[in-house]
Amino acid sequence: MNQTKFELSPIGRVEADESQGLSQLQIDEPYRPALLGLDRCTHAIVFWWADKHDNPADRANSLVMDLPYAPDVKSGVFANRSQARPNPIAITTAYLLNVNQETGVVDLAYIDAFDGTPVLDIKPYLPMSDLVLSAEYPDWMEGFPASMEEAAKFFSDPENIKKFS
């Protein structure tokens, strides 16, 4: 066990307003050169700090939890995507609508992070490292959508959202 700590600085923040269909990143000025070429990618993986979920006192207590969508299952946090985790880094793969390097605004089709969430990194989605055709769900998630495209259709039905929240 070591007591090493690593330090992160936000590179920008999420600006989101579901009622207005707004899902964008506002990248801070010093980091905008790093957006060069992102407009030629179709999808990006956005890394964000889940501070709206983060309660440092809870982190140690959230190693094993109940799953809202699988009432009989106790799940270790490394087997689920809960945002309350030892290092509360979350990722969202998102379709890129527009990248403006000058203003630092990156428009996304959707991001599941609250308004004001700190952004830590953006990486291009690369099929050779990120697209796993043979990946299967654990049994307690059987029947969940088979891709992000399927998920967009699935969760456009409010009944399906209710089932899993």
114 to 44, 49, 52, 92: CA distances (angstroms)? 18, 10, 7, 12
Backbone angles phi, psi at 70, to 5 degrees: -150, 80
Residue with smaller CB distance to a copy of itself, 5 or 20: 5
Residue with smaller CB distance to a copy of itself, 22 or 80: 80
| Burial of 80 (C-beta count, 10 Å sphere; 0-12/13-18/19+) | middle
Asked if 109 interacts with a copy of itself (CB under 8 A), we say: no
Asked if 97 interacts with a copy of itself (CB under 8 A), we say: no
Asked if 116 interacts with a copy of itself (CB under 8 A), we say: no
Output the smallest distance, CB 55 to a copy of itself, in A: 14
Residue with smaller CB distance to a copy of itself, 22 or 84: 84
